[in-house]
A and B are shown apart, each in its own frame.
Chain A
Amino acid sequence: MAEKGTQTESELKTRLSLPSPRSHISRLGLPAVIVLAVVFPLFAGDYWIDVAVFWGIYVLLGLSLNIIVGEVGLFNMGHAAFFAIGSYTTAILSEQLGLSLWLLLPLSGLAAGVAGYVLARPILHLRGDYLLIVTIGLNEIVRITLLNNPWGLTGGPNGIIMLDQFRIFGYAIQRPIDFYYLVWALVAITVFVLVRLQRSRIGRCWNYVREDEIAAQAMGIDTRWAKLVAFTLGAGIAGATGTVFAAKLVVISPESFNFMESVILFCIVILGGMGSIPGVILGSAGMMVLPELLRNFAQYRMLFFGLALVLMMIFRPQGLWPSKRWTTILREGEGK
């Protein structure tokens, strides 16, 4: 290359050879976080453990929506619908058939996944805000259907009381501390699965679709298929989370799955950083803490949410903890 080329190239080379400071932090940081998470409930009171349980549930929901919004860039603002389908599947089947919650966990995931597939299929060609409007509509359709008590299954506005609990050899998971370990174990499994996916052919093709759909098609990627997989998987994880939610709350009613819930989930992904797993964990903490802080201004809460989003878009559009690109530095030894 001539002068200009070599200059930029050597410049970039020095940048590449710098060791990433984050790799050291995460090497020590991850085990530390895990130890902290395990011992936390032994010292904390029930109130804070309960807060952590709901945080974990939001993390699960945020992670599931992150697949759709963060990885593929499909603006889904009706995610609470799939969460609702999962919760109600659990409650109805548990009440009617008395199935074990361990069985209902994957079953509810499956039901929500199928619903996600069926509902998303006809609308996936829509882009950006058009898709967003339709998903808001889906959310409302599901909520109103539940309100109308079809075949007397959903209990209308009163909802369903589900008395069954997760049981391990007869021991019922009831106390906050039990739920804490259950929820965060599920978070750990989900994170593991999503990290595997992010670094695979599937995860990459989701990102290609998000970056440029036409180019992705030209590279031989079936973008419809990629979007459907993401939607189904995201809906499925949200549905499985619904089982835990139903077990924790005992009473589930349509109002737990209204449009505001979808907005909060959407904000979690945007605030945390699209496509970033630590971002989702941080973002859900933010969305949990913010309402608590604003308790005295309850009627202005939405105003503050809006303000927070606007400020984020201006000052930190990439999110609190933006996703880092995976690099090839680790597999060196060849090359220079």
Chain B
Amino acid sequence: MAEQTLDDNPQRGGRQVTEQQQVLLKLDNLTKNFGGLRAVDEFDLEIASGSITSLIGPNGAGKTTVFNLITGIYRPESGSIRFNGLELIGKQPHEVAKVGVARTFQTLRLFENLTCFENVLSGQHCRTCSGVISSILGTSAQRREEEEVRTEAERCLKLVDMWDLRDELAKNLPYGYRRRLEIARALATQPHLLILDEPAGGLNERETAELMDLIQEIRDSGITILLIEHDMQVVMGISDWVAVMDNGRKIAEGTPYDVQHNPSVIEAYLGTENGDFYTESEREDYV
């Protein structure tokens, strides 16, 4: 059905997922109301396994709501969310994490009074199983599990270059590190799909460049990435596919190049019909 709509509308850039690729996440006809406000309106999206897909749009377009629907924080009025063929609607947030969807938050949500190491250890919780009794007795299975959990947390902290900061409390970290710690924590859940909500928000240019490298590195390790981002340099620089939202609807999707030259996208962002999306002056205005 999604395919049909796309073909009907010449402004939409076709389909990301080719026959050879697998669909990891498929959003179908997703609708969510908040009172009288329709935050997400019949939203469709397919995400190819192993890709970096970006979701962009003006403030209030409904991007974060889509993320919250996928991760089980909200329940949609209608539609379906299929992850690897598994329906996610109706699942609790922790169950969604367990099937392999990890996320970061737009407004950082670190465990402020715990150390970086403990923050990252949290991701491993859903991959382990020792309970109260085995923890009290300190059984060999429990100790082995603890060792594995620490090794994995160490790997994730090293991946974001923060191993030296492992014993520092999260609340004492500078902003750029806080962003990276959240990514490390999400990676520790060993996800198939990593959802990043404005990871470059508040970062300076150098940190943004590092972040782009990090995201690509994560993708190369086999994790599919879904991204909300306002920094067009990031979006256009690393995305394989871009979907554009406005007023809860998808107004366009396609390769970064297609989307940049799509008149309805330009209108949604800039309110004019002339001018190149990517000209220097406009980009400066926007960023």
Contacts and interface: CB of A to CB of B under 8 A. Distances in A.
Interface of A: 1-2, 4-5, 8-9, 12-13, 15-16, 193, 196-197, 200-205, 207-208, 211-212, 214-223, 229, 233, 325-329, 331, 335-336
SS of A interface (majority): helix
Given A205-B122, A208-B125, A218-B102, 4 more contacts: A218-B97, A325-B114, A328-B115, A335-B164
Interface stretch (B58-66, B127-135, B256-264): B127-135
Contacts, number: 133
B122 A196 contact: no
Given A2-B206, A193-B136, A220-B123, A16 B169 contact: no
Contact of A197 (B103, B110, B136, B146): B136
B167 A329 contact: yes
Nearest to A197: B135
A205 to B, nearest CB: 6
B209 to A, nearest CB: 10
Nearest to A323: B113
Contacts of B132: 197, 202, 229, 233
Contact-residue size bin, chain B (C-beta under 8 Å from the other chain): 35 or more
Given A200-B130, A205-B125, A212 B94 contact: no
Closest 4 A/B residue pairs (Cβ): A220-B126, A220-B97, A200-B135, A211-B111
Contact of A201 (B135, B165, B174): B135
Contacts of A220: 94, 97-98, 123, 125-127, 189
Nearest to A217: B93
B282 interface: no
A112 B134 CA distance: 22
Contact of A327 (B112, B115, B186): B115
B73 interface: yes
Contacts of A329: 167
Contact of A196 (B113, B118, B138, B206): B138
A219 B125 contact: yes
Contacts of A193: 136
A328 B174 CA distance: 21
B16 interface: no
Nearest to B112: A211
Contact of A208 (B122, B142, B188): B122
Given A193-B136, A211-B114, A201 B149 contact: yes
